[in-house]
């Protein structure tokens, strides 16, 4: 049986626990110092946002032996449609390659979708690479529409 892992919110101390190293397995992180990390953490999770209902930003992490081994982000978008409802956007789901196969990605997705449901989101959506479609289908997601993007240098 798999070990029981605790999913918790990101904290400023996670800089020293490899959070950015984990994110670098997903995408380009660049050079970020601890003071820069702490400043950005404060910008994302400032008191005004915490007092909004629901809080617009949640980063879930799983820690094991002092290292962050899995993470995912939920952004909550307030809408005028659907009776001024909310949409949850899941982003940046990543599991350390040495910990894959322990269903940590599924646990992060389940946690974030439950958080979105509890926040009264009428749907939760995500974008993924073609090679990840099967994983997200196992998590209860289905293909819907087409993603478009425009990147800026």
Q: How many CB atoms lie within 10 A of CB 121?
A: 22
Which whole-number Å values give the CA distances from 26 to 93, 125, 142, in the listed order?
8, 18, 22
Sheet containing strand 86-95, edge to edge, reads 7-9, 57-64, 67-78, 86-95, 121-126
Going along the chain from its start, the domains and CATH numbers come out as 7-138 (3.40.630.30)
- State the average pLDDT over residues 94-109: 95
d(CA 8, CA 113): 14
The pLDDT tens digits for 65-74 are: 999 999 999 9
The pLDDT tens digits for 5-25 are: 999 999 999 999 999 999 999
Which whole-number Å values give the CA distances from 58 to 132, 144, 151, in the listed order?
22, 24, 24
């Amino acid at each position: 049986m798999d070990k029981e892992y605790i999913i918790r919110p990101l904290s400023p101390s996670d800089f020293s626990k490899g959070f950015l190293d984990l994110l670098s397995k997903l995408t380009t992180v660049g050079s970020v110092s601890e003071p820069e990390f702490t400043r950005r953490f404060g910008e994302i999770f400032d008191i005004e946002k915490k007092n909004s209902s629901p809080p617009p930003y949640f980063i879930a992490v799983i820690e094991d032996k002092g290292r962050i081994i899995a993470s995912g982000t939920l952004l909550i978008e307030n809408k005028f449609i659907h009776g001024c409802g909310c949409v949850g956007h899941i982003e940046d789901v990543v599991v350390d390659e040495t910990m894959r196969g322990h269903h940590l990605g599924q646990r992060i997705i389940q946690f974030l979708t439950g958080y979105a449901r509890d926040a009264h989101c009428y749907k939760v959506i995500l974008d993924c690479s073609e090679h990840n479609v099967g994983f997200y289908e196992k998590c209860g997601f289905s293909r819907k529409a087409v993603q478009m993007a425009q990147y800026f240098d």
